[in-house]
Structure 1
Amino acid sequence: MQNNSAVIIEGATVIFGDRLEPASVRIEDGRITAIDGARDGADIVDGRGYLLAPAFVDIHGDAFERQIMPRPGTILPVAPALLDTDRQLAANGIATAYHALTLSWEPGLRSVENGYAVVRALDALGPRLTVDNRVQLRWETFCFEAIELVREALAGPRLPSIAFNDHTSMAMLHPSTPLQERPFDFDPAFPAVDPETPAFAEKMAERAKRAKIPVSDMVALVRNMWDRRPQVPAAIEEVATLGQAAGAPMLSHDDSQIETRDFFRVRGARISEFPMNKRVARAAREAGDFIVFGAPNATRGGSHIASIAAADMIREGLCDILASDYYYPAMLLGLARLKADGVAPVHALWPLVSGNPARALGLFDRGVIEVGKRADLILVDWPEGGAPVVRRTWVAGREAYCAAPMGW
């Protein structure tokens, strides 16, 4: 239900696309209806001392998994987990979230069965959610069993995105080849490890724990999946065709070769998600693709798997979008770290988490503060030299979150 009462947020410093500027912003019927317009009996929100900014659009976030599985192998009911996640999103200023829902051959958390549960729960919970919850169908290309779920989700009320993942080939990669330089996944000379070695079993231990199965069973499962490799290209063609027909935004994940990026671009995936080296990022840029890195990477000052640093990519014009990845607060904290490190001023950084992901996902109604756009806004408490925090979040003009400090 829309909030039909007009609201004016005044006294804040507003983040516009090209500047920071004090302004009042009027929202009504879910839209921004005026900048520095008349009050006309509107309710007034005092924004003095705060930043008013476009709310975040999160292209890839998998932190919701922690609500479903707070401990390895311990699965909790999906509906309350998603309701809790929704509140976390609002509190962190994320008005549009694409949950990176892994659809894998693994049992448990990332299984197709759990994928169905999440997709159907989000549809059923829609009227109770505070932000725009969608899914990124993070499809493991060896998981043919997920294709019907992809088909079902594409026909649902909120168009998902599709991300092509191949963690099977990554698992089978011989340790002599760095992950960041692994060959094109369909290279006939792909350097595969011997799955019978103790080292491979050790590598599979974490997956087995997450799936709550013995390590020996996980090793056997990976080996059986690897036998599907000749059929994978045809499965990719099928899913890409489904995505194109539905008009779904599509991404390829962890590209390590230009050939990989070219392969998925031809099939409609115009977003390169977490390219693993500068060579691939430059090729994506030259082709006009959107390029995504993780906001936790920016927050920490580097990748947790020793890949390239998001800050360096931003400096070089090789990053368009920052995603929450595995930590929702990182969307704001990453901007703070980048600003503090002198990468760019805050108004130039903000499109990385709002306008750019909105455009990449085809959501042209949001992501910027302009008259006529959706009133997805956040009020940010950001003292000089201090950590920023979201105080209020509006989603399509509705107040989704409000937290007053104790000093009020």
Structure 2
Amino acid sequence: MEAIVIEGASVILPDRLAQVSVRIEHGLITALDRPRDGARVINGHGMILAPALVDIHGDAFERQLMPRPGVMIPTEAALLETDRQLAANGIATAYHALTLSWEPGLRSVAIGREVVDTLAALAPRLTVENRVQLRWETFCFEALPLIDSALAGPLLPALAYNDHTTMGVLHPSVALQDRPFDHAPDFPVVDMASPGFAAKMESRAKRSGMDVADFITLMRQMWERRPEVPAVIAAAGQKAATAGAPMLSHDDSQPETRDFYRAHGARISEFPMNLNVARAARAAGDWIVFGAPNAARGGSHLGSPGAADMVAAGLCDILASDYYYPAMLAAVARLQADGIGPLPDLWKLVSGNPAAALGLADRGEVAVGRRADLALLDWPEGRTPVVRQSFVNGRAAYGAIAAG
């Protein structure tokens, strides 16, 4: 692999923005501000060179698998297209939030296994590092064999504890963001025979390719598993801990919930649903994740805490693409424009911090010895940034030349 030097760009370093040249050899950053020594030169004048993005949770790939409700695209084609989108958005490491649910259809264990197997088969053809976040629905005991095989794979996944079953049966008098601890014995449960519950389940039934009545019957059957769930969570957590996999818990609504999943190895609080949980996570030294679309749009579509406010308050360490890959770069741009913090600090939210939280010590910063995962940005002051070139492990992953 030839040596490359990127010159003239303003570089986002861990502690400052500086105009330095960056030398790439054998997939690594080997020098800053050293002579060219015969390397191929890339002109970065007028642009910003940044560590490539690390996406801790992104499920936009689902829109490639199922672009319309009930319409499935072949998995290989969908994942190749997803890979192109990641590279074009400067994302060099992506953890696909792969839901493993008892629901049939898009989020089933069968589709999950197909995605895991297809990513492994496609690895030599993929441009960026495609990993998976095993977004495990804790009532789905059938997912455990897939979790085992994924943990033994070549690219270590993350394990995220999800409980959309308990969230789904929550009594409508209780706000989702304030629901009690999921395993509380007096958890307020909806009347599953009510018309309101049937209406609430319509979209999930449609996604699963089921009649609403049949879907509710299946949900009742899953709810009967509730007494067994804590022991299965403990078993899954032990498997992940043995493999050294990072763990997250999703949509925590109570400090007790955060404590419970932390005890099972989840040191990452993903999308805490209220301020009390975020504060409890911070007091315990957990990593805290919010959605980049939340920050880019100026608020959550679910009524959860505003990501920008959480960043300003020191209660957000990581911004994830969630459901829209371009949101990571857009979020940093908006936070900088709003004066939330200096660019090197804000950039840690989408690169250095997620890398550290996931145990990826080889990337996330422009520093000698780190992987050459880089994004060259066209970012005129006060305007929307766009990726012009991206590099993954020193390879050219994406390139686009402006018409002007």
Q: TM-score range by the shorter chain?
A: over 0.9
Shift of 1:328: 0.1
Shift of 1:267: 1.1
Q: Which residue number in structure 1 is paired with residue 16 of structure 2?
A: 19
- 185-194 vs 214-223, which deviates more? 214-223
Q: Which residue number in structure 1 is paired with residue 267 of structure 2?
A: 270
Counterpart of 1:104 (choices 101, 105, 117) is 101
Q: Which residue number in structure 2 is paired with residue 72 of structure 1?
A: 69
Q: Which residue number in structure 1 is paired with residue 391 of structure 2?
A: 394
Q: Which residue number in structure 1 is paired with residue 44 of structure 2?
A: 47
Q: How does 1:180-219 map to 2 (within 5 A)?
A: 180-219=177-216
How far apart, CA to CA, are the structure 1 residues paired with 2:340 and 2:222? 43
Q: Look up the SS of the partner of 1:265 in the other structure.
A: helix
Q: Look up the SS of the partner of 1:370 in the other structure.
A: coil
Counterpart of 1:229 (choices 226, 230, 233) is 226
How far apart, CA to CA, are the structure 2 residues paired with 1:343 and 1:304? 21
Shift of 1:271: 0.3
Shift of 1:76: 1.3
Q: Which residue number in structure 1 is paired with residue 256 of structure 2?
A: 259
How far apart, CA to CA, are the structure 2 residues paired with 1:354 and 1:285? 20
Q: Deviating runs (4+, > 2 A) in structure 1? A: none
Q: Which residue number in structure 1 is paired with residue 305 of structure 2?
A: 308
CA deviations 1:52-78 (Å, max 9, x no partner) are 000000000000000000001111111
Shift of 1:385: 1.8
Q: Which residue number in structure 2 is paired with residue 127 of structure 1?
A: 124
The code of the aligned residue for 1:80 comes to: A
Q: Which residue number in structure 2 is paired with residue 94 of structure 1?
A: 91
Q: Look up the SS of the partner of 2:54 in the other structure.
A: strand
The code of the aligned residue for 1:151 comes to: D
- 192-201 vs 342-351, which deviates more? 342-351
CA deviations 1:121-146 (Å, max 9, x no partner) are 00000000000000000000000000
Q: Which residue number in structure 2 is paired with residue 406 of structure 1?
A: 403
How far apart, CA to CA, are the structure 2 residues paired with 1:32 and 1:342? 31
In structure 1, the gaps of 5 or more residues are none
How far apart, CA to CA, are the structure 1 residues paired with 2:312 and 2:382? 22
1:35 equivalenced with 2:32 (yes/no)? yes
Shift of 1:313: 0.5
Counterpart of 1:346 (choices 343, 348, 371) is 343
Shift of 1:223: 1.2
The code of the aligned residue for 2:104 comes to: P
Shift of 1:403: 0.4
The code of the aligned residue for 2:93 comes to: T
The code of the aligned residue for 2:198 comes to: A
Shift of 1:264: 0.8
How far apart, CA to CA, are the structure 2 residues paired with 1:358 and 1:387? 25
Q: Which residue number in structure 2 is paired with residue 166 of structure 1?
A: 163
User: When the two structures are superposed, what TM-score results if normalisation uses the length of structure 1?
Assistant: 0.98
Shift of 1:224: 1.1
User: When the two structures are superposed, what TM-score results if normalisation uses the length of structure 2?
Assistant: 0.99
Q: Look up the SS of the partner of 2:376 in the other structure.
A: strand
Shift of 1:286: 0.8
How far apart, CA to CA, are the structure 1 residues paired with 2:71 and 2:214? 19
Q: Which residue number in structure 2 is paired with residue 323 of structure 1?
A: 320
RMSD: 0.5
How far apart, CA to CA, are the structure 1 residues paired with 2:272 and 2:400? 37
CA deviations 1:249-268 (Å, max 9, x no partner) are 00000010111101111111
Shift of 1:341: 1.2
How far apart, CA to CA, are the structure 1 residues paired with 2:377 and 2:23? 17
How far apart, CA to CA, are the structure 2 residues paired with 1:199 and 1:279? 30
Q: Which residue number in structure 1 is paired with residue 376 of structure 2?
A: 379
Shift of 1:18: 1.1
Shift of 1:164: 0.1
Counterpart of 1:250 (choices 247, 252, 270) is 247
How far apart, CA to CA, are the structure 1 residues paired with 2:56 and 2:121? 22
Q: Which residue number in structure 2 is paired with residue 140 of structure 1?
A: 137
CA deviations 1:154-174 (Å, max 9, x no partner) are 001100000000000000000
1:61 equivalenced with 2:63 (yes/no)? no
Q: Which residue number in structure 1 is paired with residue 82 of structure 2?
A: 85
Shift of 1:348: 1.3
In structure 2, the gaps of 5 or more residues are none
